[in-house]
Amino acid sequence: MSIHCCTTHLAFRAGRRWSGTLVLTAVLAACQPSEEIEPVPEPVRPVRVLTVEKLPGGETVTLTGNIQAQDDVALAFRVGGQLIERTVNVGDRVRAGQVIARLDAVNERHAVDAARANLAGARARLVEARNTVQRYQPMLARGFVARAQFDRAVEARDAAQAQVDAVQAQVNTAENQLGFTTLVADGPGTVTARGAEPGEVVAAGAMIVRLARQSGRDAVFDVPARVIEAASAEDPVTVALSSDPRVTTTGRVREVSPQADPVTRTFKVRVGLATPPEAMRLGSTVTGAIALGGTAGIKIPTAALTATGGAPAVWTLDPESHTVALRNVDVVRYELDRVLVSQGLEPGELVVTAGVQTLRPGQQVRLLGERAAISPAPAPSPVPVEPAKPEAKPEAKP
């Protein structure tokens, strides 16, 4: 009985050792990494590139503007009053001396009549004074008239003459005021705006109509300061009609605004047109092109420029390996939408112009518009599992 119990106890202890060994072997096998699992490949980023070319010096700047008259005046009355007639409307062509509008001139006519009446009285007194002097002159030689009396007659004549001159000036002023009640065009042109309607009471100097004279036409542009600094007043400007680019003419800068616009920070430039076509009507939209001188070199878009180490740089593309590299460049001048590079690039190289923000040296890319090559992911290989060893049964001892 004692021997059997001992045998059973030894067999139980041997079974526990084999079971613990198998559990430890399975845990270690699960913790070991599989050598056949591959990392997920990095996606190929799309980019847009530009082939570098060495361009000649200078650039052509194109701006949009409109056609305006060289002389644009506001016609107004020189006196105030009630507008009773306006003979023209917007778009009408007027000639020199044509009546544009009239004011109610009743008061001015009365003033003219009063001034003329005063002039008639002054002239009558002048005639009387002159006759007195003529009568006294022969009597003075015979001694019938004293010298003092004759001198008073001469003074009265001179005073009457001065009074006639003063009243004559009043008559002229009144007649001018009457003439100011009629607004007359001082030159040919086209009416572009009106400021008052018949029946309104207008003040002196208030615009009645705006007249664009036919003396010439200008193309007006809003020009950045950099273009003004680079251009010359002698450079010709080619102006084309936006609705029909075949209608073109040339002109030269006639006027440059001395102050920039507070909102757009541009300067208003007026280009006088030499022979404006009839199709370039007032208000038509036109484009003006001017060639600016500059240094020859390699020009790239501003979007292609980045920086490394505080210096300008660009990303270049290797067409064989489709990888990018960062290269420093020397920028000579910054233009409107391009930069002029003197060193760092050679003609024929590919420069990345879009997608430069997410690149790193040696990264593989593809051209924008190309389909990325997608390789199927490898199937995961099964992890080998070591088969469990059978439990060894202890031999029963008799």
Question: pLDDT at residue 171 above 50?
Answer: yes
Q: Are residues 81 and 205 in the same domain?
A: yes
What residue type is 99 in one-letter code?
V
pLDDT class of 378 with cuts at 50, 70, 90: very low
240 occurs within a structural domain: yes
The CATH number given to whatever domain includes residue 360 is 2.40.420.20
The arithmetic mean of pLDDT across residues 86-98, rounded, is 92
- The pLDDT of residue 181 is 95
Tell me which of 269, 292, 315 is where a domain ends: 292
**Is 29 inside a domain boundary?**
no
Amino acid in the structure at residue 264 = T
User: What DSSP line would sit under 151-185, residue for residue?
Assistant: HHHHHHHHHHHHHHHHHHHHHHHHHHHHHTTEEE-
Listed ranges 116-125, 132-141, 347-356; the one with the highest mean pLDDT: 116-125
The residue from 261, 292, 323 where one domain ends is 292
Question: How confident is the prediction for the chain on average, in pLDDT?
Answer: 79
Provide mean pLDDT across the span 380-390. 48
Judge contact between 222 and 244, C-beta under 8 A.
Answer: no
Shared-domain flag, residues 188 and 99: yes
Report whether pLDDT(130) > 90: yes
- Are 92 and 118 members of one domain? no
Q: For residue range 317-374, list pLDDT tens digits in order.
A: 777 777 878 878 777 777 667 777 777 777 777 878 886 777 778 777 777 655 544 4
128 and 92 inside one domain: no
Task: Write the CATH number for 205.
Answer: 2.40.50.100
Residues 258 and 279 occupy one common structural domain: yes
Q: Residue 91 is encoded by which pair of tokens? A: 């778009």
194: confidence class by pLDDT, cuts 50, 70, 90: very high
Based on C-alpha coordinates, what's the Rg of the chain? 51
- Domain CATH number, residue 156: 1.10.287
Confidence of residue 207 (pLDDT cuts 50, 70, 90): very high
Same domain, 326 and 267: no
pLDDT for res 306: 79
What is the total count of domains within the chain? 4
199 pLDDT above the threshold of 80: yes
Report whether pLDDT(188) > 60: yes
- Contacts of residue 197, defined as CB under 8 A and 6 or more positions apart, other chains included, come to 83, 86
Q: Tell me, yes or no, whether 37 lies in a domain.
A: no
Give 226's Cβ-side CA count (13 Å radius).
Answer: 10
97 and 191 share one domain = yes
Predicted local distance difference test score (pLDDT) of residue 343? 73
pLDDT for res 24: 42
Element (H, E) at 124: helix 106-142
Compare 27 and 199 and report the one with higher pLDDT: 199
Q: Does residue 81 fall inside a structural domain?
A: yes
Does residue 317 lie in a domain region?
A: yes
Q: Around 282, how many Cα atoms within 13 Å sit in the side-chain half-sphere?
A: 20
Among 126, 150, 130, which residue's Cα sits nearest to residue 138? 150
Range of the domain at 193: 72-103+184-212
Contact 277, 247 (CB under 8 A): yes
- Assigned domain for 163 exists: yes
Render pLDDT for 139-151 as a digit per residue (tens, 0 to 9). Answer: 888 888 899 999 9
In a domain, 379, yes or no: no
